[in-house]
Amino acid sequence: MTEPAQMPEAASAPASAPPPVHAPTPAPSRIDDEAAVDLLEELVSAPSLSGEETLAVTLLVLRMRELGFDAHVDAAGNAVGVIGTGSPHMILLGHIDTVSGVVPVRREAGRLYGRGSVDAKGPLVAFVVASARAAAAGRLGGRVTVIGCVEEEVASSRGAHQAATLPAPDACIIGEPSRWDRITLGYKGYLRARLSRVIDAGHGAHDRASAAAQACRLGVHLEARAAEFDAGRTSVWERLLVHVSRVSAGSDGLQDRAELDLVLRLPAELPPDAAQAWLTEHAAGWTVACEGGLSAWDGPRTTSLHRALSRAIASQGGRARFVRKTGTADLNVVAPAWGCPALAYGPGDASLDHTPDEHIEIAEFLAGVAVLEHLLANPAWAAPAD
């Protein structure tokens, strides 16, 4: 368990349940750039390791209510805020949990440092601020639901699975860092697995491979088999990627045991069940225990949502670029369930995800807010498909 970050005085409320849902919701209020960055810093300062998000969720619900949202905590522990009425309906879904590791929260040289500043509280707060601004200006066409999901960084994806049970919106944007002028069309799938093997113990002087050595060789073997699978595939998006995350070994004096944890990053043609069969075939003699998986998801760039977001980026002096990513996100959960136009967008440099140097450029964060506000104030994103 990581040491909790110091909460700012403004966020020192106890981590209890937020005020009841029927508490009066104030009229939407304008939040300026300085207050927007303050809100991001406050949320980044609230520790929210996967499975331990209560404090941050409570804080976000309270702040959304102050900005005019009808906000509550749902059955999975997600922070949910609704602003505006009627249709069309947009869902802006980000995640509030983080991986472990304390990155001291500070502002320095135009940057905000802290765990989650990029992945993915930056995009999530951008959703909140942009929605509140559009509503306060009376320019919000329809209704926006902002969801801060829990447990995105672990295999459960608990928050996204809960959100996926909601009625389908007219469009959805997932909050993940892609830089303020990029639009993410899709993500690879994944399969997490633990491979284990037990062999009789023996003297190290004998001509035999220890369980630990066998685990290391298995990792190399799987990488080689993946390279065979990838033959002729020039794009990383199309390839099967093998990432060994842990190798461990031990002995009780009679038997030696080895374990190898890995993540397979899956192309669209290889769903998790097929990936498990592939793994079992190429890890003969090992026990394969799969711990979760999701299929890849890829969307078109030609929907009204994609066009409207491209115009919003242009309104801030940028030119939209489209990317596909080799990771996996909540987009893989909700987009297939809802079947609506969907994409991922958010300010921040994804190469800083999970690093000890995690930070977001404040100017980029504010550019992302401006892009989203422009989008939400122009409901052309909900125009019928061509």
Domain boundary among 266, 294, 322: 294
Q: Same structural domain for residues 227 and 206?
A: yes
| 220 class by beta-carbon count within 10 Å (0-12 exposed, 13-18 middle, 19+ buried) | exposed
Q: Are 80 and 154 members of one domain?
A: yes
Together in a domain, 167 and 214: no
Mean pLDDT, residues 299-306:
94
Domain around 264: 189-294
Q: Could you write out the DSSP letters of every residue in 282-344?
A: HTTTSEEEEEEEE--EE--S-SHHHHHHHHHHHHTT---EEEEESS--THHHHHHHH-S-EEE
Other C-beta atoms within 10 Å of 142: how many? 17
User: Which percentage of the chain shows pLDDT scores above 90?
Assistant: 80
Q: Model confidence over 185-224: pLDDT tens digits? A: 999 999 999 999 988 766 555 556 788 888 999 999 999 9
CA gap 195, 8 in Å, rounded:
44
Q: Look up residue 262 and give its amino acid.
A: L
Q: Does some domain include residue 1?
A: no
Which among 100, 78, 89, 52 is positioned nearest to 381, based on CA atoms? 89
Residue 280 near residue 215 (C-beta atoms within 8 A): no
- Does pLDDT of 16 surpass 60? no
Q: CATH number for the domain including 38? A: 3.40.630.10
* Total structural domains within the chain: 2
Where does a domain end: 245, 272, 294?
Answer: 294
Which of 294, 329, 352 is the endpoint of a domain? 294
Same domain, 175 and 276: no
In total, the chain counts a number of residues equal to 386
Active site residue 152: yes
Residues 243 and 166 in one domain: no
The answer to whether 281 is a known catalytic residue is: no
- Catalytic residue among 41, 152, 181, 364, which? 152
Are the C-beta atoms of residues 263 and 191 closer than 8 Å to each other?
Answer: yes
Place of tokens 């997490």: 192
Residue 127 has pLDDT above 70, yes or no: yes
Give the three-state DSSP class for 31: coil
pTM value? 0.87
Of 41, 42, 97, 358, the catalytic one is 97
